[in-house]
Amino acid sequence: MTKSELIEAVSQKLNNFTKKDMELIVNSIFESIKDALARGEKVEIRGFGSFRVKERRERNGRNPRTGEEIKIESKKIPFFRVGKELRDRLNK
Amino acid sequence: MTKVDIVERIHENIGITKRDAAMILETVLETMKETLERGEKIKISGFGNFVVREKRERKGRNPQTGAPLTIKARRVLTFKASPVFKSAINSK
CA distance A64 to chain B (A): 22
- Write the CA distances from A20 to A23, A72, B2, B44, integer angstroms: 5, 43, 25, 17
CATH code, domain carrying A31: 4.10.520.10
Please answer yes or no on whether B6 and A76 come within 8 Å at the CB atom.
Answer: no
**For chain B, which residues make up each domain, given as ranges?**
1-38, 40-92
pLDDT tens digits, B52-82? 999 999 999 999 998 999 999 999 999 999 9
Residues 5-64 of B with CB under 8 A from A: 5-6, 9-10, 13-14, 16, 20-21, 23-25, 27-29, 31-33, 35-37, 40-48, 50, 52
Compare CB distances from A44 to B2, B43, B92 and report the shortest one's residue.
Answer: B2
Compare CB distances from A6 to B5, B6, B42 and report the shortest one's residue.
Answer: B42
Q: Residue A46: give the domain boundaries.
A: 3-90
- Asked if the model's pLDDT at residue A20 lies above 80, the reply is yes
Dist. CA B33–CA A9, nearest whole Å: 12
Question: Which residues of A fall within a CB distance of 8 Å from B6?
Answer: 29, 32-33, 43, 45
Asked if the C-beta of B79 comes within 8 angstroms of chain A's C-beta atoms, the answer is yes
The average pLDDT across A25-40 equals 95
**What superfamily in CATH does domain B40-92 come from?**
IHF-like DNA-binding proteins (4.10.520.10)
- Asked if the model's pLDDT at residue B17 lies above 80, the reply is yes
| pLDDT attached to residue B92 | 56
Taking alpha carbons only, the member of A51, A47, A50, A43 closest to residue A89 is A47
Confidence band of A8 (pLDDT split at 50, 70, 90): very high
Residue of B nearest to A74 (CA): B90
- Write the CA distances from B12 to A33, B16, B22, B23, B72, integer angstroms: 15, 8, 13, 15, 46
| pLDDT attached to residue A45 | 97
The average pLDDT across B6-22 equals 95
Structural domain count, chain A: 1
The average pLDDT across A4-32 equals 94
State the average pLDDT for chain B.
Answer: 94
The average pLDDT across B15-24 equals 95
| pLDDT attached to residue B82 | 96
